[in-house]
């Protein structure tokens, strides 16, 4: 059995996974978008992935009008080093990125491609906000 709170379903993820998220609160009257990534670092090792990003409205992706997020992590028992890069014909414009790590992750986090603005615990996640 998997213990989970009643307020949201459990998420079962393999170590080394990266899941793109819209981390801003949603409201019925206004569309809100703020990219973030849920990261599930292994005890040791490196992994990376790329994620497609477009405007979500037009068919511009058919004409290569989209960007990519390249996310990479290097992990050891003491640290998690993260690199995030916006690439593609129309790279994403976000300059702040929210990284969600599972609790009780306590290793030192570094962002190779920017600096950490905040590092705190919110609900069931460790939230690291980086300026790219």
- What is the domain extent for residue 57? 52-93
Q: What pTM, to 2 d.p., does this model score?
A: 0.87
Structural domain contains residue 68: yes
Average pLDDT over residues 40-48: 95
Poorest-confidence range of 23-27, 82-86, 94-98, 109-113? 23-27
Structural domain contains residue 27: no
pLDDT of 3: 73
Structural domain contains residue 6: no
74-88 burial, b for 16+ CB within 10 Å, e for fewer?
A: bbeeeebbbebbbeb
Structural domain contains residue 72: yes
Number of domains in the chain: 1
Arithmetic mean of pLDDT over the chain: 90
Integer-rounded Cα radius of gyration of the chain: 16
Task: Give strand pairing partners of 96.
Answer: 131
Structural domain contains residue 84: yes
Structural domain contains residue 64: yes
pLDDT at 1 over 70: no
Structural domain contains residue 73: yes
Structural domain contains residue 70: yes
């Amino acid at each position: 059995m998997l213990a989970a709170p009643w307020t949201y379903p459990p998420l079962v993820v393999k170590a080394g996974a990266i899941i793109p998220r819209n981390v801003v609160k949603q409201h019925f009257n206004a569309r809100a978008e703020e990219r973030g990534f849920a990261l599930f670092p292994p005890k040791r090792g490196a992994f990376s992935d790329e994620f497609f990003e477009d405007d979500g409205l037009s068919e511009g992706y058919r004409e290569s009008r989209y960007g990519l997020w390249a996310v990479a992590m290097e992990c050891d028992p003491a640290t998690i080093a993260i690199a995030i890069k916006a690439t593609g014909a129309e790279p994403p414009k976000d300059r702040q990125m929210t990284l969600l790590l599972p609790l009780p992750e306590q290793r030192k986090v570094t962002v190779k491609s920017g600096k950490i603005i905040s590092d705190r615990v919110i609900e069931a996640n460790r939230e690291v906000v980086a300026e790219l």
